Chain A
Amino acid sequence: MTNVSITDAKDVREQIDPDAAVVPVRHWGRLLLSVVVALLVLQVFWSFATNPFIHWEVVASFLLAPTILKGLLATLEISVIAVVLSTVIAVVVAVMRMSKSVVLSTVAFGYVFVFRGIPLIVLLILVGNIGLFMKQVSLGIPFTDITFFSAPTNRIFTPFVASIIGLSLCASAYMSEIVRGGLLSIGRGQYQAAMALGMDGRQTLRYILLPQAMRVIVPPMGNEFITTIKMSALVAVIAGGDLLTVAQSISGVNYRTIEMLFVATFWYLAVVAASSIIQHFVERFTAEK
Chain B
Amino acid sequence: MSEKREEMQNPVVEINGVNKSYGHHQVLYDIDLTVDRGETVCVIGPSGSGKSTLLRCINFLEEIDAGQIWVNDTLIGYRVANGRLHEMREREACKQRVDIGMVFQHFNLFPHMTALQNITLSPVLNKGVPKAEARAHGLELLERVGLKGRENHYPSQLSGGQQQRVAIARALAMKPFLMLFDEPTSALDPELVGEVLSVMRDLAKSGSMTLIVVTHEIGFAREVGDRVVFMDEGRVVEIGPPEKLLDSPKEERTKAFLSAVL
Contacts and interface: CB of A to CB of B under 8 A. Distances in A.
B97 interface: yes
A131 B174 CA distance: 57
Interface stretch (A115-123, A201-209, A226-234): A201-209
Contacts of B59: 196
Interface in A167-218: 189-190, 192-201, 203, 207-208, 211-212
Interface in B64-96: 90-91, 94-96
B110 A200 contact: no
B251 to A, nearest CB: 32
Contacts of B208: none
Given A198-B97, A288-B156, A193 B108 contact: yes
Contacts of B111: 212, 288-289
A44 to B, nearest CB: 47
Contacts, number: 65
A10 B174 CA distance: 73
A189 B104 CA distance: 8
A288 to B, nearest CB: 7
A199 B94 contact: yes
The number of chain A residues touching the other chain, given as a range, is: 10 to 19
A211 B154 CA distance: 15
Nearest to B114: A289
Contacts of A196: 59, 61, 97, 100-102, 104, 171
Contacts of B174: 197-198
| Main secondary structure on A side of the interface with B | helix
Given A193-B109, A212-B112, A198 B122 contact: yes
B156 A192 contact: no
Contacts of A203: 125-126
Contacts of B90: 200-201
Interface string B187-218: 00000000000000000000000000000000
7 contacts: A196-B97, A196-B100, A196-B101, A197-B122, A199-B94, A211-B112, A212-B112
Interface of A: 189-190, 192-201, 203, 207-208, 211-212, 288-289
Q: 4 shortest A-B CB distances, which residue pairs?
A: A198-B98, A193-B108, A196-B102, A197-B122
